[in-house]
Amino acid sequence: MLRTTTLFALCLSAMPAWAADFNLSYASPYTESHPYGAADAEWIARIEEQSGGRVDITPYWGGSLITSREGVDELSAGVADIAYIAPIYARSGYDMNRLVPGMFYGYTDPEKVLGVYMDLVGEFPQFGEELNGVHVVGYNVGTPMHLLLREGPVNSLEDLKGLRIRSAVDFIGPLAAFGAEGVTMPMTETYPSLEKGVVDGVIAPYEALKSLSFAEVVKYYSELPHSRGAYPSRAVNGDVWASLPDDIKAVFDDNAEWLSLRTLELAQEAEDAGRAYGEEKGVVFNSVDPAVVADYSEAFAPAITDVAKTLDDMGKPGTEVLGKIREAYGE
């Protein structure tokens, strides 16, 4: 009898102090040490605490369950209950969510970008309608990217002429307008291309000086801003969301802004660390005259106007949304 009692007590001691009502999985393509993953880990703890222990979330990091490009589809299909999503990287579809971030050209304050974007999401239901099958519970905003250069700084738009710059597709047109050639290639190939002089520079954020070791192969960092806009970044599977009671849904929704801002805070810390690392390595930083920045930003306007019209042709409020973004930019 004593042995039976002892075994029973041991079994009880091995059980959790409470059993959650909702055991959910969270999938991310990032590691927990990445700023996005670190924000997620804090957010998971907040959700569990604020739900009174009724929600338990098990994270799966590093792309073990989900990819960044197809995250919305994968989450909708049920590969996880909650996931990091990035519709801006999708090859097609999610047109408002994928194309509107480019309308924030010229913005240099990511927190303002996030605020304007979240207001638009609240005003225009088309953003949410495109993400049928998932419920968004967090947003990302990119910190501005600039020019990292091998041979010399850019102080004027004339300095761009003849340069070959590793660039996202969205930036190729504005670069070409001032005589530079935008080159697309994977970031994994950019370091050796800079090292060998295949390209003269890359458009990237401060943090890339450290995280991608670009401080080893560039000498100059010219602060000509390239805004990255905002986008939905965390969501719950639609069927899972429908199964949750209203009070638990409220815990997730009430923390959407917190998660979005915390992600930005940690991303900015990585930016600061990247700049400090660049300074240690002898990278020379230079600001660019605001008038030059304004002229460069205007080179984005024609292509973005066409993007807005494309959305209009789909029956979506592209031009209206663009107008609101540009109006807020001028405040």
Mean pLDDT of 301-325: 97
Percent of the chain's residues with pLDDT above 70: 94
Going by pLDDT thresholds of 50, 70 and 90, the confidence category of residue 67 is confident
For residue 45, the enclosing domain spans 17-142+228-254
Residues 149 and 129 in one domain: no
Residue 5 is assigned to a structural domain of this protein: no
121 and 206 both lie in a single domain: no
With respect to residue 197, please indicate whether it lies within any of the assigned structural domains. Answer: yes
Which of the listed ranges 6-20, 57-71, 235-249 does the model predict with the highest average pLDDT?
A: 235-249
Q: Using pLDDT thresholds of 50, 70 and 90, give the confidence band for residue 11.
A: very low
Please report which confidence band the pLDDT of residue 331 belongs to, taking 50, 70 and 90 as the band edges: low
Q: Is residue 174 part of a domain?
A: yes
| Residues 177 and 38 occupy one common structural domain | no
Instruction: Tell whether the model's pLDDT for residue 107 goes beyond 70.
Output: yes
Spatial contact of 106 and 310, defined as CB atoms under 8 Å apart: no
| Same domain membership, residue 291 and residue 206 | yes
Residues of the chain above pLDDT 90, percent: 88
What is the number of domains present in the chain? 2
pLDDT in tens, 258-308: 999 999 999 999 999 999 999 999 999 999 999 999 999 999 999 999 999
Statement to judge: residues 54 and 191 lie in one domain: no
pLDDT of residue 257: 96
Q: Are residues 161 and 246 in the same domain?
A: no
Q: Could you read off the pLDDT of 148-188 as tens digits, one per residue?
A: 999 999 999 999 999 999 999 989 999 999 999 999 999 88
State both tokens at 304.
Answer: 């973005």
Residues 151 and 137 in one domain: no
The answer to whether residue 267 is domain-embedded is no
59: CATH: 3.40.190.170
Identify whether residues 65 and 157 lie together within a single domain: no
Nearest-angstrom CA–CA distance, 30 and 62 = 5
| Residue 316 placed within a domain | no
- Kindly state whether residues 183 and 250 are assigned to the same domain: no
Average pLDDT, the chain: 93
* pLDDT for the residue 92: 84
Residue 259 included in any domain:
no
Please check the confidence at residue 9 and state whether its pLDDT lies above 90. Answer: no
Q: Are residues 190 and 48 in the same domain?
A: no
- 153 falls within a domain: yes
Q: Are residues 129 and 214 located together in one domain of the fold?
A: no
Quick one: CA torsion of 141, 84, 89, 317, rounded to 10 degrees? -60
CATH code where residue 186 lies: 3.40.190.10
The sign of the dihedral angle between the CA atoms of 81, 87, 92, 98 is positive
Each residue's pLDDT tens digit, 189-224: 999 999 999 999 999 999 999 999 999 999 999 999
The pTM score is 0.89
Higher pLDDT, 145 or 330: 145
Tell which residue, 22, 34, 127, 130, has the closest CA to residue 73: 130
User: How far apart are the C-alpha atoms of 20 and 48, rounded to whole Å?
Assistant: 9
**Does residue 70 belong to any structural domain of this protein?**
yes
**pLDDT number for residue 231:** 96
Q: Please check whether residue 168 is in contact with residue 149, taking contact to mean a CB–CB distance below 8 angstroms.
A: no
Q: 207 and 282 share a domain?
A: yes
The CA-based angle 259-263-269, given to 5 degrees, is 145
